[in-house]
């Protein structure tokens, strides 16, 4: 619930700055490593946005997968293992961010 709450607060702050009357659609990118359930997030967002100008707005969630690669041979992995077969250290890039990409509103 807290993530939906802070997402809504950010959306409302931007909408307020633009002098919007109504928020229609929000596109948010979410790294899969944050382990957020999109259905649950959509539900929570609907709940917390009730009574605000974002009520009934559509929430589009784009899941962003991290790039997991061996720093030595460059082999890619699906899950973050600590050490590659070659002995190189596996690094994880991205997948931990939540970014609001777009807010459609009525001004």
Site for Zn ion in 2-61 (CB under 5 A): none
Shorter beta-carbon distance to Zn ion: residue 38 or 88: 88
Task: Return the residue matching tokens 């229609």.
Answer: 24
CB of 99 to Zn ion, least distance (A): 30
Considering the rule CB under 5 A, would residue 83 count as an interface residue with Zn ion? Answer: no
Alpha carbon separation from 46 to 3, 4, 7, 56, 95 (Å, rounded): 13, 9, 12, 7, 24
Can you give the binding site for Zn ion, defined by CB under 5 A? 70, 72-73, 75, 84, 86, 88
């Amino acid at each position: 619930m807290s993530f939906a709450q802070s997402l809504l607060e950010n959306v409302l702050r931007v909408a307020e700055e633009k002098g919007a009357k109504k928020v229609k659609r929000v596109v948010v990118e979410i790294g899969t490593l944050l382990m957020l359930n999109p259905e649950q997030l959509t539900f929570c967002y609907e709940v917390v946005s009730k009574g605000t100008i974002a009520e009934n707005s559509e929430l589009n969630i784009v899941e962003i997968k991290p790039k997991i690669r061996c720093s030595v041979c460059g082999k890619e992995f699906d899950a973050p293992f600590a050490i590659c077969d070659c002995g190189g250290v596996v690094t994880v890039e991205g997948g931990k961010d939540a970014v609001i990409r777009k807010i459609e509103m009525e001004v």
